[in-house]
Structure 1
Amino acid sequence: MKAIIKIVLLLLLTSPLLIQAQTKLKAGDKAPDFTSKDQNGKTVSLRQFKGKKLVLYFYPKDNTSGCTAQACSLRDNFKELKKEGYTILGVSVDDEASHRGFIEKNALPFSLLADVDKTIVTNYGVWTEKERNGVKSFSTTRTTFLINKDGYINRVITEIDTKNHAGQILGKN
C-alpha cells in the first residue's frame, strides 16, 4: 500500500500543472480574427473562411508524439471531415519551415499556421503558463475551435483525445 501511495505522489508531483485557466472563449462567441503565414509563406486570415465551417486546432509543437497523433487522426479522417463541410487549419508557435517538414513527414492534407509572435494563441486564450518540477513556462494548451460559416464558435474542445480527435469533431466520441 505504501508503494502505491509513493507512486501516486510521485506522479502528482511530476505532472504538469496548469496555473492559468484555459480559454475563456465559448460556443456562441465571435471567433477572434487572425492573420498569419502558413507553411508556404502564404497569408491566411479568418475572413477567408467566411461561408465555410472551420476546424481551428491549436497544438504545442511539431513532430512530438501527441501532436503527430492528433494531426494524423485529422489526416486519416480528412475525407469524412471535408464531406461534413470542414476546412482544417492547425496552429502552433513553430515557424514555417518546421510546419513544412511536419506536413511532408506525415503527408498532412491541410495547412498549418506559424504563430511565431504568439498573437493567435494569445487571442484565443490557449497560450498558458504551466509548472513542471517547479519550473514555470508558457506553452500552447491543446484546444480545438469549431467555427461556423458566419465566424462564430460552435464548439470548443479542450479535452483532446489525440488519437481519435477527428471522431471528437465528428461527434463519434
Structure 2
Amino acid sequence: MTNARSSYDELATADWLHLTEGERVRWAGRPSWLTILVSVAAGVGVALVGIVLTVWLLGTTVPTWIAYLPLLLVLLGAGQVGVAYLNWIRLLYVITDEEIYVKHGLISRDVTQIRLDRVQNTAYKQSAIERLFSFGDVRVYTAGTSTEDVTFSSVPNPEEVKRTLTQLLSENRTPQSSGGV
C-alpha cells in the first residue's frame, strides 16, 4: 500500500487535478491491463510471424530484398502493441474526498470533474469472465442537468472502487455537528 500512497501523492501534483486544502486522493486507477492483453498478444504474434518468415526466407533462394519484406509485419505488430498501450494509459480515473475525475488523453486532455455531493447512486457490473479476472465497470449516477453520469470502465476490483465511493458518500452526507440530539 505504500507504493499506492506514494503514487497518489505524485498524482496530487497533476496540473489537471484541482485539490482543495486537506483534500486527498482516495483511489486512482486505469482500466485493467487485461483489457489490452488480446491486442498486445496479437501484435506480438504478428511481429513473431514477421521474424520467422524473414529467417525462413533468408535460408531460401529468393532475392534478399524479398526476404526482408516480412519485417514490415514486425513494424505492424509493434505499432499495434504501442497503440494498445497508449489507449490504455491515456485514461485515468481518480476519486478524492470531494470529487470524481475522469481524464482522457495524453497530449490533449478531456477531464470530467463531478462533485461527490452531486452523486445520487453507484453500481458495479461484472460479467462472468470479468469476475474471473477481477475487473468490471463502476457506474456513477449524478443529479442535475449540468452533470453527466460516469462509468469507470473495466477497472480492477470494481467492488473496492464502489465501496470507496459508498464510504465517501456516507461521510459527505453525515452531518458534521459537534453536539445536539
Q: TM-score, normalised by structure 2?
A: 0.24
Larger RCO, structure (CA 8 Å, separation 6 or more): 1
Q: TM-score, normalised by structure 1?
A: 0.25
Larger radius of gyration: 2
Greater share of helix residues, 1 or 2?
2
